[in-house]
Amino acid sequence: MSSQRVILVTGASAGIGRSTSIHLSNIFPSDSHPEQLVLILVGRRQSELEATGKLLRPGTIVEVAAGDATNEEFVNALEKTIKEKYGRLDLIFNNAGVNYKSDGEFEDQDMSLFRQVLDINIMSAVLFTKLAFNIMKSQSPQGGRIINNGSISATAPRPNNTSYTISKHAITGLTRSTSLDGRKYNITCSQIDIGNASTDMASYVSAGSLQADGSIKKEPTMSVENVAKTVGFIAGLGKEVDILSLEIIASGMPFVGRG
């Protein structure tokens, strides 16, 4: 058994990624996972990743990797670094993502921005899942866990938000394929479908969000710490457990029965 537990978080510079990184550093090591924690923080902004690192519990080994999560060369170089420095990867949280929110109709939306949403939300998760497979299947003991940041938009889309909805449907496909294809390598995969976490990306919902009937309504939100605790719960499970999907939403938000 390795003396280190290596976890990688994408989108770790703010919001859910930062909160999750902090929470993971607070719960590991633990009685069931006594290994020293190594947290690899991935994001575009070096300064913000370093700020996240300073918020982690003392004793956590921090690896900051600033770059474009959709760039295959960057991801491949990081894979090489992880193999050389740590020799393993136990868990990855695919959290990097954006939401191009438009007040315009679908047919009037900027297709260049539309493509950016698909590229960032889908391809970053694809590339880092590939990284995880390459390391997890060859390490000893073999296997690991992948957690994908999904959205309830994969089940109930918001009006005029097609790019984000498509991207989260793709994450569902990635999660299920990963769970299937990872089976022979003892790799499990979970998807957390999140609704109205209080982040900069979702700030519009508390101010007033367009509903299916055309009205604008303020919606309740929840602290990102609730998502962080959910990631931590899954991260602490034994290898014999695979949570395929889980929904976590702000109490009272218009999701069940939306529209």
H or E segment and range at residue 195: strand 187-195
H or E segment and range at residue 118: helix 111-118
Structural domains of the chain ordered from first start: 4-249 (3.40.50.720)
Percent of the chain with pLDDT over 70: 95
3-state secondary structure (DSSP) of residue 149 = strand
Residue 1 has pLDDT above 50, yes or no: no
Q: Give the least confident one: 110-114, 134-138, 148-152.
A: 110-114
pLDDT (average), residues 195-199: 88
H or E segment and range at residue 39: strand 36-43
pLDDT of amino acid 214: 81
Tell me the C-alpha distance between 113 and 90, whole Å. 34
C-beta of residue 20 within 8 angstroms of C-beta of residue 232: yes
Q: Which residues contact 203 (CB under 8 A, 6 or more apart)?
A: none
H or E segment and range at residue 41: strand 36-43
The model carries a pTM of: 0.93
Nearest-CA neighbor of 3 among 45, 35, 26, 28? 35
User: Residues 160, 192, 35, 88: is their CA dihedral positive or negative?
Assistant: negative
pLDDT tens digits for range 60-75:
999 999 999 999 999 9
DSSP string, 49-107: HHHHHHTSPTT-EEEEEES-TT-HHHHHHHHHHHHHHTS---EEEE--------SS-GG
Percent of the chain with pLDDT over 90: 77
Residue 209 has pLDDT above 90, yes or no: no
Residue 124 has pLDDT above 80, yes or no: yes
